[in-house]
Amino acid sequence: MANAPALTAETIVAISPGAMLRRRIFGHYGLLFGLSVLALVVAAAVFAPLLADHNPYTQDLFARMKPPFWMAGWDPDHLLGTDQLGRDYLARLLYGARISLLIGIVTALISGMIGTALGVAAGYFGGKVDLVVTFLINVRLAMPVVLVALAIVALFGGSLQIVILVLGFLLWDRFAVVMRSSVMQIRGLEYVNAARAIGCSTTRIVLSEIMPNVVNNLIVVMTLEMAHAILLEAALSFLGLGVQPPTPSWGLMISEGKEMMLFQPWLITIPGVALFLLVLAINLLGDGLRDVTAPEAKG
Amino acid sequence: MKPFLATGVIALTTALSCGQVFANKSDDTLHTAFSKELESVDFYFQSAREGTIFARQVWDGLVYRDQTTGDYVGNLASSWKWVDETTLEFKLREGVKFHNGEEFDADDVVFTVNYVVNPDNHVTVPGNVNWMKGAEKVDKYTVRITTNGPFPAALEYLSGLVAIYPNDYYAEVGPSGMALKPVGTGPYRVESVEPGKHFVLKKFDGYYGGPKGQPSIGTIDIRTIPDINTQLAELFSGGIDMIWNVPADQAEQLAAMDQFTVANESTMRIGYITMDAAGRGGEGPFAKKEVRQAIGYAIDRQAIVENLLKGSSKVVNSACFPSQFGCEQDVETYSYDPAKAKALLAEAGYPDGLTVDFYAYRNRPYAEAMMAYLADVGIKANLNYLKYSALRDMQKKGSAGFGFLTWGSNSINDVSAITSQFFKFGDQDFARDEEVKTWLDTGDKSVDDKVRKENYSKALKKIAEEAYWIPLFSYNSNYVFSKDVAFTPTPDEIVRFFDMSWK
C-alpha cells in the first residue's frame, strides 16, 4: 500500500476485520477446495450408515469383484462394485473414511499435545529446558518413522489403537520445532514483559499471552501432521502391519486389491483416489489457513 | 474389453524393459520364473519348492515314482529288495555318467547318503533324510541302505528327497561349490548359476534316459521374479513362456483371453484350522469339543472352494490329502450348518458368542472369508497375520493355538508326511492325544500295509470325531504357458521341464 502513492482517499475504505477475513477466505481457491472436500469426507464418514445400504463386513462369496458403475456388467445394488470377498466397495470406502479421519485427528491431537508442551516449554524457558527439548527433538528426528512404526507394530501386533498410539508418539517433532521457535520470538515482546511485570503466573502468561499468538502456526502444523498420519496408516496397513482386516481401511483396500491390479484395476484406483483427494484436501486446507491467518507469511 | 485394457497397460509398463532379445520356440529356449529366491541350488541346503523343481532336472534319485501309475520304478537303481526290516539293497544302473564325466557307481550313493545323514553337515531339512542310518557298498553296482527302525515310506522318500551326488566332485567342492556349479546325472546340466537370480539349464546330451525320458527342449532359462503381477507382465510381453501358481482369479481372466494355455492341477497341499484342544496356551474355549465342532459347522468350505480356490480344489474332511497312503475318508464330516454351530456354542456355555485370536500366514482373503463365517455364528476372531516362521515359533511355545494353516507334505504320498507330523506331540500338536499318537506310531513303524491302514484309520477317525483339526480344502495350482509349449502338470506340484516339448 505504501508503494501506491497514486491512490486517492476515496479508494481507501476502511474494511472491517471480519469482512477482510471473509474476502481472503473466498479468494483462496485452494482453501475452498480443501475445505469442501474435507467436509464431504467428514460427512461421508459421519453418515456412512445412512449413505451405504450394505454392511461393510457382510461378505457374499457368490458376488465377488463386481465392477463399478462406469464399467459394463455393473450391479445397481453395488455402485462401486464389490471386493474379492463380495463385500460392497462403497460401504467399505465410506466406513474406511472413518478410520482414516479417526487416525488423522487422534494422532494429530496426541502428537500436538506432546509437541506443543515440549516446544512451548523450550521456547519460553530457554536455557537447560531448551537444551533437553532440543536433544529430544534431535533424537526423535534421528529415528526413521516408518521403520520404528513397523518394528513396534510387528512386536505388539497391528490394531487401530496401536497404530494411533505409535503414530501419535512419533509425529510430535514438527509441533515441537515450530512451537519452540514461534514462542521464542514472542517471549521477549512488550506485552509478555508487561504481564510478567504485573505479576501474572507463568501458566497465565503462557495460556493467555503466548498461546493465542502462536495458535495459527499450530493449526497449520496440525493439518500437515493429520495428512501425514493418514498416509502413514495407509502405508502400514498396505504392508499388513496397520489396521487388521476385516476393518475397512483405505490402505488395506489398496493392499488387498494389489493382486488383482492387472485385471480389476478399480480395486486399487478407487481407494487410491480417495486417499489422494483426502490428503490433498487437508494439505490445501493447511496452506490456506496459513495464508488467511497470517497473510504476511505468504511466500 | 478388460483383457485388452490389461494388455495395453502391460505393454506400456514392459516396453522399457524389453531391451533384451527374447527367444522361445525359434531358438529352443524356454523362459520361466521362480517366485522365491533360492537360498542355494544344492538340494540339501534349501527348503523351497523351487529347489525341489530345480533338483529334479539336474539330479536323479535311486527310484522314481511314475506320475500316471503311482508305481515306483528304478531310476539310478535297476532293482531293489528289502533284506530285512531295516535294510534295502539296490542294484545300480551301469554306464551312467555325471555331467562332468565322472562315472556313477556305488561309491556315489554311499558318499551321498552318509554325507547327508551326518548331523555335522547340517542339511536344511533333517527330517527328509534322518530316517536313514547310512549306506554301505556291497560291490561296484550294489549298495545297501539301512534305516533307523522300520520305515515303510522309504521308497517314497528316496524317490523325492534323496538326490545322488558325484562323490569325487562333492568331496572336493562341498555345498558351496555345488551351489555355484551343480553336477548331477539328470536330464539337464547346469550352464550357469547366478545365485538367487538366474539359472540356465542345457539339455544333457549324455543322459541315459531312464523313467524320466530324454529331455526335448534344449535350454531352460529361469529367472527369479517374486511378484505375480510382474510375472504376468513378462508373460504378456513374451519375456517368459511359462509361470505357475497363478491365483485363481487371474487364471480365469487369462483363460478367457485365449492367448495362453491355462492348466489347472490339484496339489497335495491342504488347508486346515488347528485349535488348542490341549490348552497349551492356557485353558481356552477350544478345550471344549462342542466349540471345536461348532467351528467346523460354521464355515461354508464348499463356498470358499467354489468361489475363492476354484479349479480342482476339493473340500477335505480327513486330516490328510485324499490320495495319500492311509488317508481314511470315512470320517465324521462337518457340513455348513450355522444353526447347529450356534446351538453347540450355547451348549458349551457361550450363548453370546466369544472373542478369540485367529492366526494365519498365507491367503489372507481365505482367512477373512472364514472370519466372516465365524462372525455370523457369534465368534469374533481377531486376525493376526504373520510370517510362517514367526507363527511356527509361537506355536513351539504353545501360543497361537487357533489358526488357519496349510501343509504340502513335501509331496510325499503318505499319511506319515502330514498326520504323523502334527499329532505326535510335536511343536505344532495342539491335540496331545495319547491314543492318536500310539496309533500313528504303530502305523509309522510297521511295514505291513494292512496294519498301517488300520492304525491310521483309527487315528484319523478320532481326529475328526474330536475335531482337533477342521480340515478345509485341497489347494490347486494354475499353470499358464505359451501355446507353443506342450506340458501336462502333475499333482505333486513339480514342474518337469524334461517332460515339456514344443508343439
Q: How large is the ipTM? A: 0.73
A156: closest chain B residue by CA: B384
Overall residue count recorded for chain B in this entry: 503
Which runs of consecutive H residues, i.e. helices, occur in A52-159? 89-125, 127-142, 145-156
Quick check: B141 contacting A, CB < 8 Å?
Answer: no
Interface test with A, best of B229, B254, B399 (most A CBs within 10 A): B229
Residue B380 lies in a domain: yes
The number of CA neighbours under 13 Å toward the Cβ of B59 is 27
> Is pLDDT of B127 > 60?
yes
State the virtual CA torsion across B428, B429, B430, B432 in degrees, nearest 10. -160
Torsion over CA: B199, B200, B206, B207 (sign): positive
Q: Is B172 found in the same domain as B138? A: yes
**What DSSP character marks residue A82?**
B
Cell of A22: 471473509
pLDDT digits (tens, 9 = 90+) for B369-415: 999 999 999 999 988 888 787 888 888 888 888 999 999 887 788 89
Which residue in the set B229, B365, B384 is minimally distant from A84, CB to CB? B365
Residue B14 lies in a domain: no
| Number of domains comprising chain B | 2
pLDDT digits (tens, 9 = 90+) for B282-305: 888 999 999 999 999 999 999 999
CA–CA distance, B409 with A44 (Å, rounded to integer): 49
Specify whether the CB–CB gap between B415 and B325 falls below 8 A.
Answer: yes
Looking at the complex, report in whole angstroms how far the Cα of residue B379 sits from the nearest Cα belonging to chain A.
14
CA–CA distance, B57 with B48 (Å, rounded to integer): 15
> Is pLDDT of B458 > 90?
yes
Judging contacts by C-beta atoms under 8 Å, the chain A residues touching residue B229 are 258-259, 261-262
Q: Is B57 found in the same domain as B203? A: yes
Q: Is B124 found in the same domain as B157? A: yes
User: Contact B304/A262, CB-based, under 8 Å?
Assistant: no
Residue B446 lies in a domain: yes
Specify whether the CB–CB gap between B271 and B475 falls below 8 A.
Answer: yes
User: Contact B364/A240, CB-based, under 8 Å?
Assistant: yes
Judging contacts by C-beta atoms under 8 Å, the chain A residues touching residue B250 are 259-260, 262-263
Distance between the two ends of chain B, CA-based, in angstroms? 29
A84: closest chain B residue by CA: B365
Q: Is B167 found in the same domain as B284? A: no
Judging contacts by C-beta atoms under 8 Å, the chain A residues touching residue B228 are 259
Which residue in the set A59, A240, A260 is minimally distant from B369, CB to CB? A59
Looking at the complex, report in whole angstroms how far the Cα of residue A81 sits from the nearest Cα belonging to chain B.
15
CA–CA distance, A281 with B399 (Å, rounded to integer): 45
User: Contact A244/B382, CB-based, under 8 Å?
Assistant: yes
Q: Is B202 helix (H, G, I), strand (E, B) or coil?
A: strand
Interface test with A, best of B385, B386, B388, B389 (most A CBs within 10 A): B385
User: Contact B6/A263, CB-based, under 8 Å?
Assistant: yes
User: Contact A245/B364, CB-based, under 8 Å?
Assistant: yes
User: Contact A245/B368, CB-based, under 8 Å?
Assistant: yes
pLDDT class of B10 with cuts at 50, 70, 90? low
Looking at the complex, report in whole angstroms how far the Cα of residue B312 sits from the nearest Cα belonging to chain A.
18
Q: Is B326 found in the same domain as B200? A: no
Q: Is B58 found in the same domain as B114? A: yes
Please give the backbone phi and psi of residue B19, each rounded to the nearest 5 degrees, phi first.
-65, -35
Q: What mean pLDDT do residues B460-484 have? A: 93
> Is pLDDT of B1 > 60?
no
Question: B 393-432 residues with CB below 8 A of A?
Answer: none
Q: Is B153 found in the same domain as B85? A: yes
- Interface A–B counts its CB contacts (< 8 A) at 72
Q: Is B336 helix (H, G, I), strand (E, B) or coil?
A: coil
Judging contacts by C-beta atoms under 8 Å, the chain B residues touching residue A72 are 1
Quick check: B364 contacting A, CB < 8 Å?
Answer: yes
> Is pLDDT of B265 > 60?
yes
User: Contact A245/B229, CB-based, under 8 Å?
Assistant: no
**What DSSP character marks residue A189?**
S
Residue with cell 534322518: B130
- Taking 70 as the pLDDT cut, the residues of chain A under it are 1-12, 295-299
Quick check: B246 contacting A, CB < 8 Å?
Answer: no
Which residue in the set B1, B6, B307 is minimally distant from A262, CB to CB? B6
* Non-local CB neighbours of B492 within 8 Å, separated by 6+ positions: B67, B160, B267, B268, B411, B413
Q: Is B490 found in the same domain as B457? A: no
**pLDDT for position A150:** 82
User: Contact B365/A258, CB-based, under 8 Å?
Assistant: no
Q: What mean pLDDT do residues B477-498 have? A: 90
Looking at the complex, report in whole angstroms how far the Cα of residue A88 sits from the nearest Cα belonging to chain B.
14
At B342, the amino acid letter reads K
Q: How many CB atoms lie within 10 A of CB B351?
A: 11
Residue with cell 479417526: A102
**pLDDT for position A241:** 78
At A76, the amino acid letter reads P
Cell of B239: 519375456
Q: Is B304 found in the same domain as B217? A: no
Judging contacts by C-beta atoms under 8 Å, the chain A residues touching residue B253 are 262-263
Residue B51 lies in a domain: yes
Residue with cell 542310518: B133
Q: Is B496 found in the same domain as B457? A: no
Specify whether the CB–CB gap between B379 and B404 falls below 8 A.
Answer: no
At B160, the amino acid letter reads G
> Is pLDDT of B115 > 80?
yes
pLDDT class of B19 with cuts at 50, 70, 90? very low
> Is pLDDT of B25 > 70?
yes
User: Contact B384/A244, CB-based, under 8 Å?
Assistant: yes
Judging contacts by C-beta atoms under 8 Å, the chain B residues touching residue A259 are 228-229, 247, 249-250
> Is pLDDT of B135 > 90?
yes
Torsion over CA: A64, A67, A68, A72 (sign): negative
What fold is seen in the domain A39-293?
MetI-like fold (1.10.3720)
Domain containing B84 equals 29-224+482-502
Residue B390 CB burial class (10 angstroms; 0-12, 13-18, ≥19): middle
Which residue in the set B307, B367, B385 is minimally distant from A61, CB to CB? B307
Which CATH number fits the domain that encloses residue B173? 3.40.190.10
Interface test with B, best of A61, A88, A243 (most B CBs within 10 A): A61
**pLDDT for position A212:** 87
pLDDT digits (tens, 9 = 90+) for B63-106: 998 888 878 999 999 999 999 889 999 999 999 999 999 999 99
Q: Is B301 found in the same domain as B190? A: no
A266: closest chain B residue by CA: B2
Judging contacts by C-beta atoms under 8 Å, the chain A residues touching residue B372 are 57-59, 85, 246
Q: Is B431 found in the same domain as B282? A: yes
